[in-house]
C-alpha cells in the first residue's frame, strides 16, 4: 500500500466515529455537504487527525479542505514537511 493509500485508510477510520449517518465514503465525499458536520464536529475531527499523524492543520489550511481526498493530500504534505 502506498503512503497516500495508507493515509486515506487511516483518515477513513478516523471519520467513522463522526459518521453518524453512515455515509459511504469516497475521496470526493465532502465534510460540510455530504457528512453534514457542524463546526464543532470539524474541530473534534481535526484534533483527532492532528494527533494521529502528529501534525498541525491550521484553520487557514482547513478553509481550503473540503473533501476527504483533499484532506489526505494535505496530511501527506504535512507529514513530509
Give the single-character DSSP code of 25: P
- The reply on whether position 40 binds other proteins by CB under 8 A is yes
Tell me: does residue 50 bind other proteins (CB under 8 A).
yes
User: Is the separation of the CB atoms in 72 and 4 below 8 Å?
Assistant: yes
Decide if residue 64 touches other proteins (CB under 8 A): no
Query: Residue 79 Cβ, how far from other proteins at the closest point, in Å?
Result: 11
Using the rule CB under 8 A, is 39 a contact of other proteins?
Answer: yes
Q: Closest CB to other proteins among 25 and 42?
A: 42
The residue to which cell 464543532 is assigned: 40
| Run of H or E residues at 59 | helix 59-62
Amino acid at each position: 500500500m502506498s503512503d497516500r493509500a495508507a493515509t486515506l485508510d487511516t483518515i477513513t477510520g478516523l471519520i467513522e466515529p463522526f459518521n453518524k449517518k453512515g455515509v459511504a465514503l469516497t475521496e470526493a465525499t465532502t465534510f460540510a455537504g455530504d457528512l453534514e458536520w457542524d463546526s464543532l464536529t470539524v474541530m473534534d475531527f481535526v484534533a483527532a487527525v492532528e494527533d494521529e499523524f502528529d501534525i498541525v492543520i491550521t484553520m487557514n489550511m482547513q478553509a481550503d479542505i473540503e473533501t476527504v481526498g483533499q484532506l489526505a493530500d494535505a496530511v501527506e504534505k504535512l507529514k513530509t514537511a
